[in-house]
Structure 1
Amino acid sequence: MSMAIEERIEAIIQRIQPETHCRNKYGKEATLKERMRYYNTPGVSIAVIKNFKLEWARGFGICEAGKTEPVTETTLFQAASVSKPVFAVAVMRLVQEGKLDLDRDVNEYLTSWKIPSVSGWQPKVTLRHLLSHSAGVTIQGFPGYERTGELPKLVQILNGQHPANTSSVEVNVIPGLQFRYSGGGTTIAQQLVEDRLNQPFAEIMSELIFTPLGLTNSTYEQPLPSQRHEATATGHPWKGRPLPGKWYVYPEMAAAGLWTVPSDLARIGVELQLILKHHSSGILSAETLNEMLTAQIENHMGIGFFLEGEGEASRFGHNGWNEGFVSRFVLSKHHGYGAVIMINSNEGNALLGEIEHAIAREYGWLGYSPDQINVDVSPNILKEYVGDYKETPGLHASINLEGNDLALRIQEQSPIRLSPESQTKFSIEGLNASIDFERNSDGQVVALHIHQEGRAFRLDKTFD
């Protein structure tokens, strides 16, 4: 590995910025080792993509607390819900080959089990619904099974029958109207693929994804075959305590069952990025992949992948959480960069974002560092915003000029300085909130909107 890459790795692991409760504000820089200690996290494994190539992969820390086996780039981790987008890619290969229809009622494919009716009404659910989490089905996630316990069959999981440890998977809201994350929906899709191809699921995934890409450190086999046990990390839910039995078993393979290494996931990512770059065909055609990366019911969800950022900073990816393991898979849509981060600790979940931002800072990824906004708003416009504003239920606020800046006062709170982001939008310094002003068709300022925590509050300007 070149000296330049080694220097970049060193810059990343020596300059982790702890996140704070405020957007774009960070705590004192620390080393990766210090942050792992803070989060009681024994091991971390990272792969970084640059210019449509895997640039480096490396393990940090140890496989199990209290032991000495180091994490290397070939140490297996549970990918948890990152299993889902990899599965979705496989499903889209089958759609592309004409073996499945994305918009056909899945009950026409299912033979081992059917989506049950609801009070005599039979919902129509499609693969598009299932893979974009808009099918209206239940069960967000799965807790896993101890290795020594009895394992349920997939149909038992779908029916919520012993020895399954979750309730039945069923429709309880109208399909196709809203996003609601559902591992249960992915499990229905797994059963459909098994029924359609009449093969063990792990074999299907190997044939469709791993073998074509030459990936030897990835498998959906559950339980994990004994010959792979020595290459695995141990899960640590909290306080650095190893899981009894080292890891849990997830028969819900499509939703949570992938064992892999960051470099294998990165190679899948590079394959997808090259398809987008060259508008060519690989394991998918460009047309099929672009359909996956098109927002479905809600803007943040495609088919299998979550969608992030805008324009040139657009990204797609997924996070994962199993008992004792967390993961992050993120890919640039346009610029051939990305990363995979896998951790053997639930307590280390926040470290995923800290590492991602350290990588993004070092490599200059778009959309991560807050842009320096230098907007000049004329004093005449600022004066037009000054005044009192009220909401019908009784919320009231005032906007005043303090020197050359606007200040917002809400109820009996002290005034808060506003920073312009545009001629009409202002951020509230130190808080995760912003406001914008509304004008009527005559150009008169008539209201302001306060935005925070996903909510908006409208206050009308009062006129004497």
Structure 2
Amino acid sequence: MENVFGYLEFNPSTEFTLIIKKMKIKIFSLLLLSIFIGCNFKSKEQQSIDEKIKKALIQNNVPSLSIGLIKNGKIELVKGFGFVSRTDSSKVNENSIFQIASQSKMFTGIIANNLIQEGRLNLNTPITEYLPKEAIKRSKKTLEKIKLRNLLTHTSGIPSDACSVYRERIEGEAWLKGYPKDRIITDLNQLKLEFEPNSKFQYSNSGYAIVGFICEYASGLMYEELLKKYITDKYHLDNTVVDLSNEQKSILVTPYKKSEREIQTKASDMGMATPASAIFSNVTDLTNILSKQILAYRKKEIQNPLYLTLNTSKMDEGLEYGFGLIKETKGKTIKYGHGGDADGFACEYFFNPTENTGIVVLTSSGGRWVGQLANEILESIN
């Protein structure tokens, strides 16, 4: 509409609408720009990590790796690299399954924590109270010196190879003979200590095999049932198991000797020693429980079963061992973690609660390179 002077009449509502539209366009443009910059940064960071991993796999002649990465408390990356085996071109992905070797101890620590909180176990009770009579016929005087706390913190004096499965297996070779209950009972009756309980730290695979046996006896459940009740079902870790289903076997990667990486080996059947050495899992499951564990540590939820370092023993300067988790105080901030390396499979799992970051690496052949790679990647995002 024109006024009497022949000019466009001023309409406040129209003018305001035009201004708002222009502001919206500018804001939308800024949002697009920020998203582009963020994605560009993320893609560059991702590209750098991918390059590190691919280079490490080539340098170390390893066919398979999976990685999970947490940044700012959120799962940033869950990804597989390489192939299921040297003869199978199927690509490794976030669902591919590996055996996690000594990382199994962390899950056994979580199970023990649950049973302690339920009053079924007590840290200061001699372990003879939690073992069947037939297991301590000849060794009661020796074993009654040991408390559950000693087993969980590797201060029991029990040799790492006290369980015959560890004496008989060849390093780097798969163990396929199992380890039945009657064998662990025989081994317990013949057990001799290397030092007085609680006098020093010494890592013991057999100690954690015995923890698993104690958890079974105290709860009335088999270890695989305990794993399902306190881990698989509780945290929705569907591929963290003792025994693989046929479907899970189809996505199990093939392990290779770390001493001769062209030579194929197999997953081990560790029987009653599984709580120390032989759980199966994948990077999706481990990253999921890692994210929950980081949160428990940031909130200092000491009653949370995932909080495994309320009770620790001194391993070395700046290192303490809890219930399947190591606390490191050497650097500027406190880090926690564990890992495993056996029979071709290897695992690294550690996190920094202060930085709200964490990493999981699973591979089909072990060696020091795995821990070095994991640490390098974690440091790069802190």
Band of TM-score, shorter chain: 0.7 to 0.9
State the distance in 1 between where 2:190 and 2:240 align.
29
Residue pair 1:63, 1:71 contacting (<8 A) in 2 also: yes
Matched, 1:207 2:224: no
Q: 1:155 to 1:179 in 2, by over 3 A?
A: farther
The count of residues paired between Structure 1 and Structure 2 equals 333
State the distance in 2 between where 1:6 and 1:345 align.
28
Higher strand share: 1
State the distance in 1 between where 2:210 and 2:290 align.
25
Q: 1:331 maps to which residue?
A: 351
State the distance in 2 between where 1:95 and 1:181 align.
22
Summarize deviations over 1:405-455 as a string: whole Å, max 9, x none: xxxxxxxxxxxxxxxxxxxxxxxxxxxxxxxxxxxxxxxxxxxxxxxxxxx
State the distance in 1 between where 2:124 and 2:309 align.
13
State the distance in 2 between where 1:67 and 1:182 align.
36
1:116 deviates by 6.8
Q: What is the RMSD of the two structures over their aligned residues, measured on CA atoms?
A: 2.8
Residue pair 1:270, 1:336 contacting (<8 A) in 2 also: no
Summarize deviations over 1:179-235 as a string: whole Å, max 9, x none: 1010100011111111112222111111101211111121122xx333311010111
Matched, 1:152 2:173: no
Q: 2:212 maps to which residue?
A: 190
Matched, 1:277 2:304: no
State the distance in 2 between where 1:168 and 1:4 align.
60
Q: 1:363 maps to which residue?
A: 381
Residue 89 of structure 1, aligned match among 106, 110, 114: 110
Residue 313 of structure 2, aligned match among 296, 300, 306: 296
Which deviates more, 298-307 or 77-86?
Answer: 298-307
Q: Which amino acid aligns with 2:376?
A: A
Matched, 1:10 2:47: yes
Q: Which amino acid aligns with 1:185?
A: G
State the distance in 2 between where 1:157 and 1:81 align.
19
Q: Give matches, 1:110-149, under 5 Å.
A: 110-111=131-132, 113-114=134-135, 123-140=144-161, 142=166, 143=169
> Would you identify which runs of 4 or more consecutive aligned residues in structure 1 move more than 6 Å?
none
Could you say which structure has the larger radius of gyration? 2
State the distance in 1 between where 2:209 and 2:133 align.
13
Q: Which amino acid aligns with 2:375?
A: H
Matched, 1:350 2:350: no
State the distance in 2 between where 1:311 and 1:351 align.
20
Higher relative contact order (CA 8 A, sep 6+): 2
Q: Which amino acid aligns with 1:272?
A: Q
State the distance in 2 between where 1:150 and 1:228 align.
21
1:122 deviates by 5.3
TM-score, with structure 1 as normaliser: 0.65
Q: Percent identity?
A: 23
TM-score, with structure 2 as normaliser: 0.79
1:168 deviates by 5.9
Residue 235 of structure 1, aligned match among 239, 243, 255: 255
Residue pair 1:177, 1:297 contacting (<8 A) in 2 also: no
Q: Which amino acid aligns with 1:43?
A: S
1:133 deviates by 0.6
State the distance in 2 between where 1:291 and 1:217 align.
22
Which deviates more, 82-91 or 305-314?
Answer: 305-314
For structure 1, the residue ranges without an aligned partner over 5 or more in a row are: 17-31, 162-166, 365-464
Residue 322 of structure 1, aligned match among 336, 342, 348: 342
State the distance in 2 between where 1:239 and 1:215 align.
32
Q: Give matches, 1:172-187, under 5 Å.
A: 172-187=194-209
Residue 278 of structure 2, aligned match among 257, 260, 263: 257
Residue pair 2:62, 2:365 contacting (<8 A) in 1 also: yes
Higher helix share: 2
1:249 deviates by 1.6
Residue pair 1:187, 1:255 contacting (<8 A) in 2 also: yes
Summarize deviations over 1:363-402 as a string: whole Å, max 9, x none: 03xxxxxxxxxxxxxxxxxxxxxxxxxxxxxxxxxxxxxx
Q: 2:11 maps to which residue?
A: none
